[in-house]
Amino acid sequence: MTFLNVIMKDILGTPAILIGLFAFIGLVAQKKESSEVISGTLKTIMGFVVLGAGAGVIVGSLGIFGQMFDHAFGIKGIIPNNESVVALAQKTLGKETALIMVLGMVFNILIAKFTKFKYIFLTGHHTLFMACLISAILSVSGISGVGLVVGGGVLLGTLMVLSPAMLQKYTKEITGTDDLALGHFGSVGYFVSANIGKMFGNKAHSTESINVPKNLSFLRDTSVSISLTMSILFFIVSIFAGKEFVETTVSGGSNFIVFSFLKAIEFAAGVYIVLAGVRMLIAEIVPAFQGIAEKVVPNAKPALDCPSVFPFAPNATIIGFLCSFAAGLISLFLLPLFHLSVIVPGLIPHFFCGATAGVYGNITGGKRGAILGSFVHGMLISFLPALVLPLLEKLGFEGTTFGDADFATVGLLLGNAGKQNSTLIYVVIAILLSIPFILTMIKRDVKKVEAE
């Protein structure tokens, strides 16, 4: 019994070892050399441990920020950062997240195999983030055990197909090929942006025909842009909180400006550590997933991370970032009017997702499409996270939340279903899962009719 206990509780119950085990299986299945199997497995386990270490650093900085923000404005200020939430959640939901992630990949392959939706979602860190959100929302709704893992895995696999699928019409136009797709969980925002572009814009007036200063591209360096925004945010908040308050109750006597600057850099350092952990964590799993998917689904379409579309419309990315960020700033003042928590606009979601929204707005609506589409996108990624926040608060991720549109959309949909009744969640999952199958059958019928 003790032996079984060690397997169930200590091996399968420790997320770092669990995920290492998956990497090991993946490496062996690919018939890698034993040296590669050993180093790959060890690095994957280490990635998970590094992730947890980064969480500690982030929490220290976020706690200070929250304390000063509270004192300065009398409301809660939330920093949307996917890496932070995921790192924090690993303490309570690590095992569930790891299992949902791997099951999600399995279901992604199965759905791609049996429907006409041949997408294989290769953006591993987003798979991990979504697995984390799903495990959080399901456990808050009172689902646990097998139901949580299997229900969550089915849902993740479905989303990994639906998200690239709903954008494919536009992605095809952007890249000029139907062989690639976009695999990024900001897709609701890009879909909205593309549709706004279609309604209000004119695609003949492309953003690429104008001259846009390129010197903002240094912000694509994550460490730089997080340090920069967090410093500005910390300065503003500490000035409003007051020199006296900061120096007597928070900083332990050191100068409030110097202290704020250091805490901002500490946050960026925490994110840097988490990113390094995530990179190690997915480095072996994604190629294994891709290798298996290519064998099982011969005509698979890889769904790739969002910067893949940036080179097709570089101007639209700059315009998209600026408009999305502007919308985030405006939302900062609108949110308290609706009695919602204040979502402090983060440069990372606005830069990466805003830029992508710009590209999708441009393809359907040119300049005006890119501007309006990414502006609405910026509002979405401010309001949706604020709305989903109360649902996640029970888990104690206070101070931070997911940044990209799909996390909040899925969270809202499931969280509100779960509030009514936990079986309703299974119904929602079943409906989502049926979409690719039903659409495949409809297409088949149309083809049959055409053939006759």
Give the residues lining the site for other proteins (CB under 8 A).
122-126, 175, 180, 184, 214, 217-218, 220-224, 272, 275-276, 278-279, 282-283, 286-287, 290, 302, 304-308, 310-312, 314, 352
Helix axes 124-140, 145-175, angle to 10 degrees: 140
Closest to other proteins by CB, 313 or 371: 313
Pairwise CA distance, residues 199 & 365, whole Å: 8
In order, the DSSP letters of 314-338 are HHHHHHHHHHHHHHHHHHHHHGGGG
At 43, list the tokens: 């690095």
**Which amino acid belongs to residue 267?**
F
Q: How far is the CB of 136 from other proteins (least distance, A)?
A: 21
Closest to other proteins by CB, 312 or 426: 312
Closest to other proteins by CB, 2 or 34: 34
Q: How far is CA 88 from CA 183, 238, 286, 398, 419, in A?
A: 24, 25, 23, 10, 23
Q: How far is the CB of 198 from other proteins (least distance, A)?
A: 25
Q: How far is the CB of 352 from other proteins (least distance, A)?
A: 8
Q: How far is the CB of 206 from other proteins (least distance, A)?
A: 17
Q: How far is the CB of 66 from other proteins (least distance, A)?
A: 25
Closest to other proteins by CB, 307 or 390: 307
> Phi, psi (5° rounding) for residue 207?
-65, -20
Pairwise CA distance, residues 155 & 124, whole Å: 16
Closest to other proteins by CB, 175 or 400: 175
Closest to other proteins by CB, 86 or 429: 86
Q: How far is the CB of 287 from other proteins (least distance, A)?
A: 6
- Residues 183 and 160: beta-carbon distance below 8 Å: yes
Closest to other proteins by CB, 70 or 305: 305
Q: How far is CA 142 from CA 42, 94, 95, in A?
A: 34, 17, 17
- Residues 159 and 181: beta-carbon distance below 8 Å: no
Q: How far is CA 82 from CA 86, 132, 262, in A?
A: 6, 10, 22
At 85, list the tokens: 């939430």
Q: How far is the CB of 35 from other proteins (least distance, A)?
A: 13
